[in-house]
Chains A and B, each alone.
Chain A
Amino acid sequence: AQRVTQPEKLLSVFKGAPVELKCNYSYSGSPELFWYVQYSRQRLQLLLRHISRESIKGFTADLNKGETSFHLKKPFAQEEDSAMYYCALSGNGDYKLSFGAGTTVTVRA
């Protein structure tokens, strides 16, 4: 069975401070990991995926297979980063996504 855990429901940081959203997963094979984001009054959209190894809007995430984690990080948070963030997993050769419960990030001025 595959499972994604986001231990933090809420995360509040000051503008300019670093932010890290935790994501742990359980999966027996080689998963593909994603971060999706939902801004206020917008639809769920892909932020980044581990196979792309790119930085989007200043965010990065590294897949750590030893710790089964895929934490999302940004060195300097901006107010526009306030949103709901979901970590998601897709099994090797699979198509459906398994989501975590989400973390609400609030960036204060």
Chain B
Amino acid sequence: GAGVSQSPRYKVAKRGQDVALRCDPISGHVSLFWYQQALGQGPEFLTYFQNEAQLDKSGLPSDRFFAERPEGSVSTLKIQRTQQEDSAVYLCASSTQGGSQPQHFGDGTRLSIL
């Protein structure tokens, strides 16, 4: 595709429900990142994949957050038992490799927890 694709664009869920957010990186991009952006703040790192390997998950705020990239392409960020503080925009980015290569961002998924 032309760029990083994320779905859904908007998600509304009730507190306590589980949600799954999808990211389709640019074809051939080895590295994939998830960021969380709260209102009025800059994006904050959640987790990083190189191919199918999750090399860093230090930014995941709790064990309710889980990410996977089983075939080294599409990635899913899952949040279990959602809470109101999970409301944010979740951004996915991909790059040709780690390190200093530019990251290309998707449009994000705006998650609202009622």
Contacts and interface: CB of A to CB of B under 8 A. Distances in A.
A24 B48 CA distance: 25
Contact of A95 (B40, B99, B108): B99
A74 to B, nearest CB: 20
Interface string A71-109: 000000000000000101010011111111110000000
A4 B45 CA distance: 13
Interface size class of A (residues with CB under 8 A): 20 to 34
A99 B44 contact: yes
Contacts of A99: 35, 42-44
Given A95-B48, A96-B48, A43 B105 contact: yes
Nearest to A98: B45
A98 B100 CA distance: 13
Interface of B is mostly: loop
Contacts of B103: 46, 97
B62 interface: no
B72 interface: no
B42 A102 contact: yes
Interface of B: 3-4, 31, 33, 35, 40-45, 48, 56, 59, 91, 98-100, 102-108
Given A44-B91, A46-B103, A51-B100, 16 more contacts: A6-B42, A43-B3, A43-B4, A43-B106, A43-B107, A45-B105, A86-B42, A86-B43, A93-B99, A96-B56, A96-B59, A97-B35, A97-B103, A100-B42, A101-B40, A101-B41
